[in-house]
Amino acid sequence: MPSSDHKFESAITNLKKERLRITEPRKALLQLLVEAPKPLSAEELHTTLGPGKFDLVTVYRNLEAFENAGIVNRIPTESGKSLYELNAERHHYHHIICRKCHRTEKLDTCEVAKLEKLASELGYSDVTHVLELYGVCESCQ
Amino acid sequence: MPSSDHKFESAITNLKKERLRITEPRKALLQLLVEAPKPLSAEELHTTLGPGKFDLVTVYRNLEAFENAGIVNRIPTESGKSLYELNAERHHYHHIICRKCHRTEKLDTCEVAKLEKLASELGYSDVTHVLELYGVCESCQ
DNA sequence: GTCCGTGCAAATCATTTGCACTTCT
DNA sequence: AGAAGTGCAAATGATTTGCACGGAC
């Protein structure tokens, strides 16, 4: 398993590869994303960085840049808000999100391959998917 | 396969069961949803109904009511906009959406059962999922 | 007659854009 | 230097809310 440090370095390398500049807000954001045990919203990232440290707009713009660079994945949720997570190339998984407390856990299998194949057969290219599970966790029932 | 008429009646019955009133806008909306070959946005439903016929706010409020009544499903998309479709209890499937032209097609399998089971085993109740595939269709490539 | 549903206007929430200024490279 | 990134204010787009009126039961 790659260490956090390694993931961080690898993200930085990707930034360079895309000719994106290494700035303070970007380093801070990547650091957070690398350590995050679950996907975070732009708002959460912003406040976790510390009040007034960087602008929320900067967070949004960088998340967009990261997404285009393939460094992070954007996950639209039931509530309309998006979550962001580091694009973990080596392993693909999904989350179960509690509808009440928003607690989130990993589910480390993905069975969507069959559907993606179907889509390719229909002529679609660059097929990706967004899958989120929702439920009510034990302590919220 | 249930006819459109039957689906419509069944939706009306559900409305009654939930003690929701049968109004013009509701009938019109259900009629559209019953006939729709693909999930539609609130905006699309509103304009399809005809300009000035009913208020967009009414569309939103009714879609919310329908969702709570289990009559429709809400699907958050990559773009942040939500789509709505009749809750087809008998058969569960997903869609592939073209990133460029937004053309949408059904994929009539769902392999997520395994993940839902996993979530239940973790103690979650009322587990549901949102799965959308994205790609670029043949004519847009 | 009640209470729910509707329309209209205005509010809210997440996200985006314009512009002048600052910082990477 | 020159392009790319940032902050602040203001715009946008989707969805929600408040309130007075009208229609379903």
Mean pLDDT by 10-residue block, N- to C-terminus, for chain B (141 residues)?
A: 78 92 97 90 94 93 93 84 79 65 67 75 74 72 66
In terms of domains, do A81 and A19 share one?
Answer: yes
At a CB cut-off of 8 Å and minimum separation 6, what does B124 contact?
A96, A98, A133, A135, A136, A137, A138
DSSP state of B116: H
Q: What pLDDT does residue B97 have?
A: 64
In terms of domains, do B68 and B105 share one?
Answer: no
In terms of domains, do B86 and B103 share one?
Answer: no
Query: What mean pLDDT comes out for the span A38-67?
Result: 93
Q: Can you give the residue range of the structural domain that contains A115?
A: 92-141
Q: What pLDDT does residue B134 have?
A: 73
B69–chain A Cβ distance below 8 A for any pair = no
Q: What pLDDT does residue A89 have?
A: 56
pLDDT for A132 beyond 60: yes
In terms of domains, do A105 and A126 share one?
Answer: yes
Q: What pLDDT does residue B90 have?
A: 47
Q: Which of residues 10-29 of A touch strand C (CB under 7 A)?
A: 21-24
In terms of domains, do B15 and B69 share one?
Answer: yes
Q: What pLDDT does residue B131 have?
A: 76
Q: What pLDDT does residue A16 have?
A: 92
In terms of domains, do B66 and B97 share one?
Answer: no
Measure the N-to-C terminal CA separation of chain B; round to a whole number of Å. Answer: 35
Q: Report the C-alpha dihedral over residues B43, B134, A109, A106, rounded to 10 degrees.
A: -50
In terms of domains, do B81 and B103 share one?
Answer: no
Instruction: Tell me the torsion sign for CA atoms B12, B73, B118, B94.
Output: positive
Query: Residue A121 maps to which CATH number?
Result: 3.30.1490.190
Count of structural domains within chain A: 2
pLDDT for A9 beyond 60: yes
- Is pLDDT larger for residue A37 or for residue A1? A37
pLDDT for A61 beyond 80: yes
Query: Residue B47 maps to which CATH number?
Result: 1.10.10.10
- Is pLDDT larger for residue B122 or for residue A100? B122
In terms of domains, do B40 and B98 share one?
Answer: no
Q: What pLDDT does residue A114 have?
A: 73
In terms of domains, do A32 and A59 share one?
Answer: yes
Q: What pLDDT does residue B77 have?
A: 82
Burial A97-118 (b: 16+ CB within 10 A, else e): bbbeeeebbebeebebeebbeb
- Name the strands in the sheet holding B40-41, side by side, starting at the edge strand that comes first in the sequence: B40-41, B82-86, B72-76
A10-to-A3, A87, B58, B93 alpha-carbon distances in Å: 11, 11, 49, 37
Residue where one domain finishes, among candidates A91, A110, A131: A91
Look up the protein residue whose alpha carbon has the minimum distance to the C1' of D13. B81
- Is pLDDT larger for residue B57 or for residue A103? B57
In terms of domains, do B62 and B6 share one?
Answer: yes
A68–chain B Cβ distance below 8 A for any pair = no
CA of A59 to C1' of D13 (A): 20
- Name the strands in the sheet holding A82-86, side by side, starting at the edge strand that comes first in the sequence: A40-41, A82-86, A72-76
| Residues in chain A closer than 8 A to B128 (CB atoms) | 133-135
Q: Which of A116, A125, A135 sits opposite B133 (nearest CB)?
A: A116
